[in-house]
A = this chain, B = another copy of it.
Amino acid sequence: MNHTDLEQDVIIVGAGLAGLKAALELQQAGKRVRVLEARDRVGGRSMPGEIAGQTIDLGGQWVGPQQTLLLEQASALGVKTLSQYTAGASILSLDDNVSTFTSDIPKLPFLSLMELALLQRRWNKEMRSLPVTAEPWLAAKARQWDSQTLESWILKHVHTRGAREFARTITRAVLCAEPRQVSYLCFLEYLRQGESLESLIGIEGGAQQDKFAGGAWQIPQRMAAQLGDSVQLDSPVHAVEQHHDGVSVISNGHTYRARHLIMAIPPVLAAKIRYNQPLPAKRNALLERMPMGSVIKIHVAYERAFWRLRGLNGGVVSNNRVFNVVFDQSLDDDGMGVLVGFIDADHAIAMSATDEATRRQQVISDLVHYFGPDAAHPIAYVEQDWTAEPWSRGCYVAHTAPGVITSFGDTLREPCGRIHWAGTETATRWCGYLDGALQSGIRAAQEVLNR
């Protein structure tokens, strides 16, 4: 292959936020880029939707004040933020017992609350012992923490039922995985990436503080618009060939050539691509051990936001119901009421095997359990099953079981020849979020520019 055969300098696989950001950075540096996207749309885990005429996000939607890359990107594209609705009380459904609470602290027995405070302090202390370089395998206690599941850790260190269920529930909510599936080191690193437990799960001052007027999905769409014809949809990549002076990417029977390649797709999808130069065993082992979480995101619309009239903010958290985390998604007090929520982890896998009617019935039944009969008659229902998305294989993010970070983790961002790795899983801050995706794209583009 001669240099003159090259159609572009860099090929980027995946037009999620990571790939689009990498492409824009490279384009601004004068490089010719081509983004190959398997889907018929850009955005990856950010995706537009609509419920009863209201535009919604079927994928990632919130932004916290610490997520400066995402805030700057949105601002530069003219996408405005608005606050998550918080006025009034939230609902806790613990073992089917419904109660309300107004602070950040749910109503738990006194001993559970005490233990929760200790737990939070301990996690924040332990996570601060992890390297800020996002190399958790280098932590002093890496081996110890990566040898156990989060569930083992909970059983050993947490004693009240309330605090145990809290710890399990937040694992399902943030990683969409069961605590027994996740390495304790993976969990701590995820806390560190999100600054603290409070910042990860909080609304005011946390990762759910704001959302984007009209939807977060506008951000990748506008980024893609800046790239114009460089973004090519319906182009799944099945094979990658590295040569001494370049790389070839095969998609739909066509071969694209470039100097370098950025893979901006989830690890589990990168593992499915054929490489003429096999990836190192350690790298391959990592890609084959980073499964995605399981989640179904569901919007339910009502004539009115009846909960607001009753002094509720629409927020729900439950340790055992199927539709286990809920937020208000209404545009205002007077118009249509919208709730958005999630079916996480094992519940998502189970409900994915049923049909929409069954899921809808379950979701409504859970909402009636939380909010009473007012919730029984929605005017619209929209669901997005991320476990069934072949080009994501789950959401929000990949996690690792014990022994993966310490045995294979140090290959996470290591280029393999001319292949560079992006995607929110490779972020050093806000892994699993749109912000982390942007950061990974910037880093991968810089790696290529530095060569």
Question: How many residues on chain A are close to B (CB under 8 Å)?
Answer: 48
Cα A385 to Cα B404 with chains together (Å): 20
Given contacts A238-B238, A281-B352, A407-B349, contact A402 B291 (CB under 8 A): no
Q: Which of B178, B182, B285, B388 contacts A291 (CB 8 A)?
A: B285
Given contacts A148-B152, A387-B281, contact A402 B352 (CB under 8 A): no
Q: Nearest CB to that of A181 among chain B residues?
A: B403
Check A243 for interface membership: any CB of B closer than 8 A.
no
Docked-complex contact B349 and A178, CB < 8 angstroms: no
Cα A255 to Cα B86 with chains together (Å): 57
Given contacts A180-B146, A403-B181, contact A284 B393 (CB under 8 A): yes
Docked-complex contact B291 and A288, CB < 8 angstroms: yes
Q: How far is the CB of A210 from chain B (nearest CB, A)?
A: 31
Docked-complex contact B294 and A281, CB < 8 angstroms: yes
Q: Nearest CB to that of A288 among chain B residues?
A: B291
Q: Which of B146, B148, B349, B385 contacts A285 (CB 8 A)?
A: B349
Q: How many copies, total?
A: 2
Give the residues in chain B near A385, CB-CB below 8 Å: 281
Docked-complex contact A402 and B181, CB < 8 angstroms: yes
Check A159 for interface membership: any CB of B closer than 8 A.
no
Check A3 for interface membership: any CB of B closer than 8 A.
no
Check A213 for interface membership: any CB of B closer than 8 A.
no
Cα A57 to Cα B398 with chains together (Å): 38
Check A9 for interface membership: any CB of B closer than 8 A.
no
Given contacts A352-B282, A407-B349, contact A147 B180 (CB under 8 A): yes
Q: Which of A282, A353, A394: most chain B Cβ within 10 A?
A: A282
Cα A408 to Cα B387 with chains together (Å): 13
Docked-complex contact A403 and B403, CB < 8 angstroms: no
Cα A394 to Cα B407 with chains together (Å): 15
Check A271 for interface membership: any CB of B closer than 8 A.
yes
Docked-complex contact A278 and B403, CB < 8 angstroms: no
Check A289 for interface membership: any CB of B closer than 8 A.
yes
Give the residues in chain B near A146, CB-CB below 8 Å: 180
Cα A404 to Cα B238 with chains together (Å): 27
Cα A38 to Cα B151 with chains together (Å): 40
Check A268 for interface membership: any CB of B closer than 8 A.
yes
Cα A423 to Cα B73 with chains together (Å): 49
CB pairs A–B below 8 angstroms (24 shown)? A147-B149, A147-B151, A148-B148, A148-B180, A151-B402, A152-B152, A180-B403, A180-B406, A181-B401, A181-B407, A182-B403, A238-B274, A268-B288, A271-B271, A278-B388, A278-B390, A280-B352, A280-B353, A281-B294, A282-B352, A282-B353, A284-B393, A289-B401, A346-B407
